[in-house]
């Protein structure tokens, strides 16, 4: 029986609305979870333990964890203050900045990767001027991940800062605190739930990033590229191990979120 | 300390405040005005939350107009609670103190005294969302007072409280604010706040300063100011006097040469201020014996028509009050200007708004 929380009492008869909602909800859950059953089915037909511990899979997994973490850290240092500026500062061309932020979101990742290659590749201006290899290196992976994951930090953080009533910032300054102190002691703590959600989303997105990374740094292999290559070489059975590792990472990220929420460190409305 | 506002003005797209000029010494100035008159804009300018288009703000001879908010040492209590929800009560109170001040024993003794004076020592470990409206405003007051501000601004801090809490806090507020010995600006549209707190009043209407002075000066100033004051307030009578006797729940207080009675018990020598609604004052051409404990013999100074009602302005020997009666009552009694008439009201009619020992 589907009920609507505390608002409506449990109805004795199933209403048409409840029934329709239940069916739609069920279909969506089935659609999202069915591939996991497919994965389990295929995984059952191979030596999963051996596949999971293949050196190239482990290396790709660890590399993805490391680069995603670095990318997320870089994005938090630049992205959170940028989000605050978008939320609080008023200036003429702000709408242009808002547009710029969503570019990596709307572009197909392969297109983003191609553009990044043009900007950082060996024949680009930077590639020819600066004696650093931006492509086919860990740096290339980080460039690709930060680019595609940037909206995932900026947009939720901006929304989180906008949701903090300005009166708290005003009173902090009236009480004698400089703007920087106000930001760290009031704005950031009050926006932390949205920011943490953004950080987790950016991290997960970085882990799962394929298209831009393919163009910028096919080698060394991230876990997504490893899955892609394993599938290309040996079909679905060959790529199951990589997928399982990514699913494990997603569960870790979800667990972190739930622990923070349970500890009341973050509160959802 | 002296606060001078000199020709201050601010423009919104559809509203202009000023130019406004005011002088406030160590006392409480109440700024009265209808919604949208510019009261909040004015105190936001003083706090530095807004920057004026013209004019200046001078504190003790120093121009603070361009000084940033955090350096002005202004205390501000808003209408809505601005306590930080992620901190508990104690952390909120200490928020405005610097690291050095937190480690200063003398300062912390002062902080504890403020907490005790406001009666909030039992709330220190509570979360903000567990506080009542009155508790919240007391904590906001403490948060502001511990920073030792040079100017105190209050933007209708009692307006969201229920009437009994508002009344109780209002009586305590004057004592607390006067102790600070700094200019205080209190914005309100409640006449009880005016009468309970004000050393001086300024009236704002449509962004312009309509009048400034103490209550008597306002009521004796131009008809437009007076009528505006009574439009904004309900035009109750404010009477203040010295308690001469108080027993069995009945207090007698002297107003000029007149003795009035009100309910309640006070120490002899206390100065009390009460308001009596115009509608509560009954008029009679003859002296009659009633249960009312207040009978005054006064002269009709003025008769002011108000659609179906009439305000009869009465005065004698330094006492001025207004009675509001119907047109037909006025006709029946045959009241005209300069008549002598009895004004009667019960001891339960006066409503205490100020008490000073």
Kindly report the average pLDDT of chain B as a whole number. Answer: 88
Q: Evaluate whether B194 touches B201 at the Cβ level (below 8 Å).
A: yes
Nearest to B69 among A167, A173, A189 (CB): A173
Cβ neighbors of A41 (< 8 A, separation 6 or more) are: none
pLDDT at residue B225 in the model? 57
pLDDT at residue B220 in the model? 55
Determine whether the interchain pair B82/A168 forms a contact, defined as Cβ–Cβ distance below 8 Å: yes
Task: Say whether residue B187 is in contact with chain A using an 8 A CB cutoff.
Answer: no
Mean pLDDT of B328-346: 93
Task: Say whether residue B147 is in contact with chain A using an 8 A CB cutoff.
Answer: yes
Task: Say whether residue A167 is in contact with chain B using an 8 A CB cutoff.
Answer: yes
pLDDT at residue A264 in the model? 64
Determine whether the interchain pair A175/B95 forms a contact, defined as Cβ–Cβ distance below 8 Å: yes
- Alpha carbon distances (Å) from B246 to A21, B255, B345: 72, 15, 18
Nearest to B74 among A174, A179, A189 (CB): A174
Mean pLDDT of B290-301: 93
Determine whether the interchain pair B75/A174 forms a contact, defined as Cβ–Cβ distance below 8 Å: yes
Q: Could you tell me if the ipTM is greater than 0.85?
A: no
Mean pLDDT of B114-142: 93
HSE on the CB side for B287, CA within 13 Å?
6
- Residue whose token pair is 């009978």: B295
CA distance B155 to B175: 18
List of chain B residues whose C-beta atoms are within 8 Å of the C-beta of residue A173: 68-70
Among residues A79, A117, A107, A74, the alpha carbon closest in space to that of A218 is found at A117
pLDDT: which is higher, B83 or B14: B83
Query: What is the nearest CA distance from B71 to chain A, expressed in angstroms?
Result: 6
Among residues A252, A251, A253, A226, the alpha carbon closest in space to that of A241 is found at A226
CA distance B311 to A82: 63
How large a percentage of chain B has pLDDT more than 70? 93
CA distance A214 to A221: 9
Task: Say whether residue A174 is in contact with chain B using an 8 A CB cutoff.
Answer: yes
In chain B, which among 257-296 make CB contacts under 8 A with chain A? none
Q: Is the dihedral of CA B31, B36, B42, B44 positive or negative?
A: positive
Among residues A62, A86, A208, the alpha carbon closest in space to that of A149 is found at A208
List of chain B residues whose C-beta atoms are within 8 Å of the C-beta of residue A194: none
HSE on the CB side for B249, CA within 13 Å?
2
Which domains are seen in chain A, by residue range? 35-262 (1.10.3720.10)
Among residues A80, A15, A142, A170, the alpha carbon closest in space to that of B84 is found at A170
Beta-bridge mates of residue B348: none
pLDDT at residue B218 in the model? 63
End-to-end CA distance of chain A: give it in Å, rounded.
Answer: 26
Record the pTM.
0.78
Mean pLDDT of B288-307: 90
Which residue does chain B place closest to A266, by CA atoms? Answer: B86
Task: Say whether residue A171 is in contact with chain B using an 8 A CB cutoff.
Answer: yes
Beta-bridge mates of residue B275: B238, B351
- Is pLDDT above 80 for A13? no
- Is pLDDT above 70 for A6? no
Task: Return contacts of A246-249, CB within 8 angstroms, 24+ apart.
Answer: A246/A207, A246/A208, A247/A36, A247/A39, A249/A61, A249/A64, A249/A65, A249/A204, A249/A207
CA distance A123 to A121: 5
Q: Evaluate whether A232 touches A224 at the Cβ level (below 8 Å).
A: no
CA distance B56 to B54: 7
pLDDT at residue A269 in the model? 45
pLDDT at residue A109 in the model? 93
- Alpha carbon distances (Å) from B269 to A92, B239, B246, B254: 64, 16, 10, 10
What 3-state class would DSSP assign to B113? helix
Determine whether the interchain pair B49/A167 forms a contact, defined as Cβ–Cβ distance below 8 Å: no
CA distance B194 to B133: 21
Which domains are seen in chain B, by residue range? 3-232 (3.40.50.300), 237-356 (2.40.50.100)
List of chain B residues whose C-beta atoms are within 8 Å of the C-beta of residue A175: 70, 95-96, 143-144, 147
- Is pLDDT above 60 for A56? yes
List of chain B residues whose C-beta atoms are within 8 Å of the C-beta of residue A265: none
How are the residues of chain A apportioned to helix, strand and coil, as percentages rounded to the nearest 5? 75, 0, 25
Determine whether the interchain pair B76/A172 forms a contact, defined as Cβ–Cβ distance below 8 Å: no
pLDDT at residue B163 in the model? 80
Mean pLDDT of A135-157: 95
CA distance A238 to B40: 69
The token pair that represents A199 in the structure block: 């950080």
Q: How many CB atoms lie within 10 A of CB B54?
A: 13
Determine whether the interchain pair A170/B49 forms a contact, defined as Cβ–Cβ distance below 8 Å: yes
Task: Say whether residue B49 is in contact with chain A using an 8 A CB cutoff.
Answer: yes
Nearest to A174 among B76, B80, B85 (CB): B76
pLDDT band at B215 (very low <50, low <70, confident <90, very high): low
Beta-bridge mates of residue B314: B300, B321
- Residue whose token pair is 């069916």: A23
């Amino acid at each position: 029986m589907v009920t609507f929380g505390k608002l409506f009492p449990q109805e004795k008869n199933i209403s048409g609305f409840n029934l329709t909602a239940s069916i739609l909800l069920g279909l969506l859950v089935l659609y999202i979870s069915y591939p996991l059953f497919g994965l389990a089915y295929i995984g059952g037909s191979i030596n999963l333990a051996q596949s999971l511990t293949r050196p190239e899979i482990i290396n790709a997994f660890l590399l993805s964890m490391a680069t995603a973490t670095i990318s997320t850290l870089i994005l938090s240092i630049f992205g959170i203050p940028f989000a605050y500026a978008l939320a609080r500062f008023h200036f003429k061309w702000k709408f242009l900045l808002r547009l710029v932020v969503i570019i990596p979101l709307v572009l197909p990742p392969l297109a983003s990767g191609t553009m990044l290659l043009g900007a950082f590749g060996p024949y680009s201006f930077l590639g020819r001027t600066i004696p650093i290899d931006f492509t086919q290196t860990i740096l290339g992976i980080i460039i690709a991940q930060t680019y595609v994951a940037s909206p995932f930090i900026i947009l939720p953080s901006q929304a989180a800062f906008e949701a903090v009533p300005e009166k708290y910032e005003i009173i902090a300054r009236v009480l004698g605190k400089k703007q920087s102190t106000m930001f760290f002691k009031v704005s950031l703590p009050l926006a932390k739930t949205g920011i943490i959600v953004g950080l987790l989303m950016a991290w997960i997105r970085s882990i799962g990033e394929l298209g831009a990374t393919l163009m910028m740094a096919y080698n060394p292999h991230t876990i997504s590229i490893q899955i892609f290559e394993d599938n290309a070489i040996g079909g679905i059975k060959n790529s199951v191990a990589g997928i399982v590792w990514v699913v494990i990472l997603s569960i870790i990220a979800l667990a972190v979120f739930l622990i923070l929420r349970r500890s009341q460190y973050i509160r959802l409305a | 300390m002296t606060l001078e506002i000199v020709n201050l003005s601010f423009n919104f797209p559809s509203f202009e405040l000023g130019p406004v000029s005011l002088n406030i010494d160590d006392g409480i100035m109440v700024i009265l005005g209808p919604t949208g008159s510019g009261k909040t804009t004015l105190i936001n300018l003083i706090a530095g939350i807004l920057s004026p288009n013209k004019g200046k703000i001078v504190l003790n001879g120093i121009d603070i107009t361009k000084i940033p908010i955090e350096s002005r040492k202004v205390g501000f209590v808003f209408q809505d609670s601005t306590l930080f929800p992620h901190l508990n009560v104690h952390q909120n109170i200490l928020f405005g103190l610097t690291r050095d001040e937190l480690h200063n024993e003398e300062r912390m003794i002062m902080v504890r005294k403020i907490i005790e004076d406001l009666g909030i020592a039992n709330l220190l470990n509570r979360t903000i969302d567990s506080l009542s409206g009155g508790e919240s405003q007391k904590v906001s007051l403490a948060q502001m007072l511990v920073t030792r501000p040079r100017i105190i601004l209050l933007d209708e801090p009692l307006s969201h409280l229920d009437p009994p809490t508002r009344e109780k806090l209002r009586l305590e507020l004057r004592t607390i604010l006067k102790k600070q010995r700094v200019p205080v600006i209190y914005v309100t549209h409640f006449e009880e706040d005016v009468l309970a707190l004000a050393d001086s009043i300024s009236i704002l209407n449509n962004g312009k300063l309509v009048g400034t002075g103490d209550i008597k000066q306002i009521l004796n100033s131009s008809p437009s100011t007076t009528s505006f004051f009574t439009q904004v307030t309900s035009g109750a009578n404010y009477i203040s006097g010295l308690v001469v006797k108080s027993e069995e729940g009945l207090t007698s207080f002297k107003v000029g040469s007149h003795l009035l009675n009100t309910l309640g018990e006070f120490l002899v020598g206390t100065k009390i201020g009460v308001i009596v609604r115009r509608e509560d004052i009954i008029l009679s051409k003859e002296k009659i014996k009633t249960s009312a404990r207040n009978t005054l013999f006064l002269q009709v100074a003025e008769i002011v028509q108000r659609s179906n009602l009439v305000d009869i302005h009465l005065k004698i020997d330094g006492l001025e009050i207004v009675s509001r009666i119907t047109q037909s009552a006025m006709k029946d009694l045959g009241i005209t200007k300069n008549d002598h008439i009895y004004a009667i009201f019960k001891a339960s009619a006066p409503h205490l708004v100020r008490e000073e020992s």
